[in-house]
């Protein structure tokens, strides 16, 4: 047992040496600066730990979640380098010495001090989507849920009242990430984006999109704030792409990709292409 502990401690040491952030009072800063809002109202702090629910909206307000007993217990665990509460993915990466891809490192940039200040938000508020991708399921695609799973629409519990409740936090937020479904088809996201533009246009708005939706309204919106994109493609072969991403047109997506590329290049912002590795591609 002592050899295992020594091995793990050594990995912690090497991990900390790879971090840009040098105040190593916590293995991970996610619960100190991040909340993720999901369609069912469950609130998490990290996409790598989907097990740990730190609160529920609207039963709890945002302050109650961010300052609650559950998230504070997770903070205490991570201060003690205890990864047992749902952080197994980072634990496995740690043992494999995959320090570069550790999820925990992504949250260091939002931590200015040891204080708990909400600086990073992630929104997964709706499954509205126009595609029926081979690797997807109804929780993330309304088209799959309706046409393949033959289930009733998944109701979102987020309304205009939720947008209002976000207002006090925009002053400290550095990054806001939007997932779907397809973000450009989700009405409440447009209200949140407009609110960001009015209250803090310096926030980095990161959109994970399938790249199929682009119109005049979106192009005008993109001029008003700092938008970044991750575009899910999965194949650059036309036939293969359209087989994987059912309902999508390869030619139209490539045309949109060109637009997003030129937009990102003009504003000197990174553009990411997401690919899901699988047998089909």
Q: Percentage of the chain with pLDDT > 70?
A: 96
Residues 211, 257 contacting (CB under 8 angstroms): yes
pLDDT digits (tens, 9 = 90+) for 84-105: 999 999 999 988 989 888 899 9
For position 152, what pLDDT does the model report? 95
Mean predicted confidence (pLDDT) in 95-123: 91
Q: pTM here?
A: 0.93
Beta strands across the sheet bearing 120-124: 55-56, 42-44, 34-38, 120-124, 175-178, 204-209, 226-232, 271-274
pLDDT digits (tens, 9 = 90+) for 144-158: 999 999 999 998 899
For position 155, what pLDDT does the model report? 86
Residues 6+ apart with CB under 8 A from 194: none
pLDDT digits (tens, 9 = 90+) for 221-240: 999 999 999 999 999 999 99
Is the pLDDT at 256 greater than 90? The verdict is: yes
């Amino acid at each position: 047992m002592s050899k295992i502990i020594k091995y793990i401690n050594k990995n912690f040491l090497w991990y900390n040496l790879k971090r840009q952030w040098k105040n190593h009072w916590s293995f991970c800063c996610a619960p100190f600066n991040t909340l993720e809002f999901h369609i069912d109202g469950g609130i998490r702090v990290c996409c790598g730990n989907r097990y740990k629910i730190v609160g529920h909206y609207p039963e709890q307000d945002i302050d109650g979640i961010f300052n609650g007993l559950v998230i504070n217990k997770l903070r205490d665990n991570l201060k003690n380098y205890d990864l047992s509460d749902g952080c197994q993915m980072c634990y496995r990466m740690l043992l494999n010495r995959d320090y570069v891809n550790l999820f925990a490192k992504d949250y260091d940039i939002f931590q200015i001090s040891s204080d708990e200040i909400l600086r990073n938000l992630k929104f997964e508020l709706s499954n509205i989507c126009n595609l029926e991708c081979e690797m997807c399921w109804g929780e993330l695609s309304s088209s799959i849920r309706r046409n393949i799973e033959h289930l009733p629409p998944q109701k979102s519990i987020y309304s205009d009242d939720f947008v209002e409740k976000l207002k006090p936090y925009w002053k400290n937020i550095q990054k806001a990430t939007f997932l779907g479904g397809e973000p450009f088809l989700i009405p409440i996201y447009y209200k949140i984006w407009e609110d960001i533009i009015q209250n803090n246009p310096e926030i980095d708005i990161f959109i994970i999109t399938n790249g199929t939706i682009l119109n005049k309204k979106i192009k005008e919106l993109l001029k008003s704030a700092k938008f970044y994109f991750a575009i899910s493609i999965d194949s650059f072969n036309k036939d293969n792409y359209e087989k994987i991403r059912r309902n999508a047109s390869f030619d139209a997506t490539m045309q949109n990709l060109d637009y997003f590329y030129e937009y990102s290049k003009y504003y000197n912002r990174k553009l990411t292409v997401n690919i899901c590795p699988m047998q089909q591609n």
